[in-house]
Structure 1
Amino acid sequence: MRKTDLEIIELLKAKHIDLTKYGLGRMKFREMRESMGLLRTRQQGHSVDSISDAMQRLRPIYPNAGIREMASLLFHEEGMMVSRSVICSYFSCYEIELVRKRLANRLKRKRFWAAGTNDIVTVDQHDKWQRFGLRLHIGLDPFSGRIHWLKIYWTNKNPRLIFSYYLEHVETYGYMPLITQSDPGSENYGIANGHTTLRHWHDPSLHGTLQHRWMRQKKNVMPEIAWSQLRRRFTPGFENLLEIGIQEEWYDPDNYLHSLVFRWVFIPWLQGELSAYQDRVNNTRKRADRNKILPHGPPNHIHQEPEEYGVLDFKIKVDPNAIAHVRNLYAPPDHPVFDLVPRSFSRVAQECYSMMGTPLITRENVWDVYRDMLARVQHFEQLPATLEQEWQVHNTEGDPDNAAFNHIPLIAGLTELPNGEDVARSDGSIYLGGVNNGNGLG
């Protein structure tokens, strides 16, 4: 999280050191840190020349990154702590045209309501990469700004898949929020049903109420802001990389072998890149803003240590038996939506990949790995005769219009939570008001 030595020492003393037996001073901590090779900005002493190679590696994939974003990228991807002045000097020397093109954006302010951390988890899907056969989904805590998950897959319309993202988060941390929230849409019925069932399990007084809020009239604004930031900070370079395959005619989304190999190679690799982006965002302090009344700090720290910021935490500890119960109901692991590719092809792909020596997939070689894999698959002697038919079934199952595959009925007879402003929840918590300026909310 790039905290100072004093901030780290205070956190260690508060959470991890028995002060009745031990002490830790600044000089001793600095000595320990330096012995581990963890050097601060001045100690690393970078210049325009020393960061040039790293900047050239990062620029093609992050063409729109400004000074603040590039400092974060250098730290998280290259392990370099570089001062703002050095990056500014680099831009002035080598990217003067980009500096001149920078324009001020006029933000449209909207209201959003949250009482504290784990008050709400809000979710949304993103279809801008549909032409590549890829779809994204996000879940986040709007109060802390923490991204809980950022997923890429061949579909984002199946309610069982969407609920599995939420359930994975709940199972990992052992707690859930008060309510979940989304745009209207049947793809969110799984998370609405599952979260409501979990809340009823732990609080029988809530029976008869749906513990999920449908945000109509484009009021689910926080995920939209997250998508906007992703489009600016992450998408351009990776989109250019994906376009290469289509332009060079290496990848035809309508060809079943092309599509299967593409999914097998690209989706796990892109998921790793998105997880790295998520980790970087969650551990980076947001830019100070006088219009924002939320606590100022890295989202991970706000979410993990809310008492440090004087805010409320509404998390509810979850019974593991309840998790197993709702998984069987709404996200059974044997459902075909959880197959990245048909199982018969997965065995073929793994064998071909092993024959290649299981190369590590990177930004530089991902298309080379794909092309090598495709050639091996096309000449594979034991390719299943029914593979094209299996792919067609697999693709049809991912079609959002396929109700038999995607539909989960919403629990009937439940009273919906109010959709609007200045309302109290069924559990007694009250919304707090504030203004969203693109960096957070009140």
Structure 2
Amino acid sequence: MPLISQSDPGPENNGVANGHTLLRHLQDPTLEGTLQHRWMREKKNVPPEISWRQLRHRFTPGFENILDHGVNNGWYDPNILLEALVFRWVFIPWLQKELDAYRERVNNTKKRADRNKVLPIGVPNDMFEHPEDYGVLDFKIKVRKENIDRVREIWAPRDHEVFQLVPPSFAVIIARMYEEINSPEITRQNCWDVYLALLAKFHALDAAHEIPENLDECWGRALTLAREDCASDIELMPNLQPLANDDDVIGDEGGFYMGGVNNGKGLDAQQLARLDEMLNNDEPQVVDNDRDEGVFAWFSDDEQEQDATADDW
């Protein structure tokens, strides 16, 4: 895990701030009483915004076209409960799988060098696993599983209904139907075919009066919950001191440190000495072997990462 989490200000991010803060406290009791999250005001949240824009530019358009195909043909109306539930069961896991593949591709692709930046250049996953090979210090935290379980139980319990893709009773029925159509792997070519086949089976059940009469009462809660702003009910943990520089304190050299090293104060003398030692050594020869990029999402191109300064987000 990282030293700190960060986000735009807003109550919808309180859950992230609380969960990360508690996890850091469990790992390092000396941090108790401090908020291990930084609120990135104005345009300080630049790297996540750039990544989001690139996702929207490279990944989203093709998948939007696929979804529009079903809507434009009148196959899906989000206001019809049965269609909405079948859609969620078919499309959300498939889209999540494609997003995971996109993430893996980005994290295993070397970025283009930028002479205006001093950050190391390499494959992100390599730099994450072997930072010393790139002349940088390693600050990632190895988290104990029991601590993750404790934080999850408090802030994201597995049995909370918000984590249910569809109501449990609906899930049992549609899983059986999916087996009846031979459980095809869902792809961009057949996603709407699978959806229509499952929807037809539900219509057959409805005609046979085997679907609950009080459909909205039994299964409608899932969609109602999805439309509610549940995050607004989460309050930030009380009595926590913010990280150093939380009030945009400018350093001696005109810079503003936004990281979490030493509770937001930056590198100490020992860490600076270690970094100087690494810089004084001969630069390591990082072998950039051709790698199998693995699966990657459709509609993502092979262009190098765009210069952040060119992103008009």
State the Cα deviation string for residues 247-285 of structure 1 (Å, max 9, x = none). 111010111011000000001111111111111111111
Distance 1:401 1:324 in 2: 25
- Conservation of the 8 A alpha-carbon contact between 2:170 and 2:219: no
State the Cα deviation string for residues 51-86 of structure 1 (Å, max 9, x = none). xxxxxxxxxxxxxxxxxxxxxxxxxxxxxxxxxxxx
One-letter amino acid matched to 1:427:
N
In the TM superposition, what is the alpha-carbon distance from 1:202 to its structure 2 partner?
2.3
1:211 aligns with 2:47: no
Distance 2:182 2:229 in 1: 40
Distance 1:188 1:428 in 2: 20
- Conservation of the 8 A alpha-carbon contact between 2:33 and 2:241: yes
SS state at 1:345 partner:
helix
- Partner of 2:111 in structure 1? 286
- Partner of 2:14 in structure 1? 189
SS state at 1:409 partner:
coil
Q: Structure 2: give runs of 5+ residues left out of the alignment.
A: 251-255, 273-305
- Conservation of the 8 A alpha-carbon contact between 2:257 and 2:265: no
Question: Matches of residues 34-433 of structure 1 in structure 2 within 5 Å?
Answer: 176-380=1-205, 381=208, 382-402=210-230, 407-417=233-243, 418-420=246-248, 422-423=256-257, 426-427=262-263, 429-430=265-266
Identical aligned pairs, as a percentage?
54
One-letter amino acid matched to 1:394:
A
In the TM superposition, what is the alpha-carbon distance from 1:419 to its structure 2 partner?
4.8
One-letter amino acid matched to 2:107:
N
In the TM superposition, what is the alpha-carbon distance from 1:206 to its structure 2 partner?
1.5
| Inter-CA distance 267–296: structure 2 relative to 1 (3 Å threshold) | same
In the TM superposition, what is the alpha-carbon distance from 1:194 to its structure 2 partner?
1.4
| Inter-CA distance 341–439: structure 2 relative to 1 (3 Å threshold) | farther
Higher relative contact order (CA 8 A, sep 6+): 2
Q: Structure 1: give runs of 5+ residues left out of the alignment.
A: 1-175
Distance 1:220 1:334 in 2: 32
State the Cα deviation string for residues 191-226 of structure 1 (Å, max 9, x = none). 211111121122222221111111121321111111
Distance 1:419 1:383 in 2: 57
- Conservation of the 8 A alpha-carbon contact between 2:20 and 2:37: yes
Structure with the higher fraction of residues in strand conformation: 1
1:438 aligns with 2:308: yes
- Conservation of the 8 A alpha-carbon contact between 1:215 and 1:419: no
Distance 1:396 1:296 in 2: 46
Backbone CA RMSD of aligned residues: 2.3
Distance 2:264 2:91 in 1: 46
- Conservation of the 8 A alpha-carbon contact between 1:198 and 1:326: yes
Distance 1:316 1:215 in 2: 22
Distance 2:213 2:230 in 1: 25
One-letter amino acid matched to 1:361:
I
SS state at 1:181 partner:
strand
- Conservation of the 8 A alpha-carbon contact between 1:183 and 1:218: no
Distance 1:178 1:198 in 2: 10
Question: Matches of residues 19-30 of structure 1 in structure 2 within 5 Å?
Answer: none
Distance 1:372 1:419 in 2: 56
One-letter amino acid matched to 2:263:
D
SS state at 1:379 partner:
helix
State the Cα deviation string for residues 361-388 of structure 1 (Å, max 9, x = none). 1111111111111111121243233432
- Conservation of the 8 A alpha-carbon contact between 1:182 and 1:188: yes
SS state at 2:52 partner:
helix
Distance 1:217 1:256 in 2: 40
SS state at 2:97 partner:
helix
| Inter-CA distance 275–402: structure 2 relative to 1 (3 Å threshold) | closer
Figure out how many residues of one structure are paired with residues of the other and give that number.
260
Distance 1:389 1:220 in 2: 42
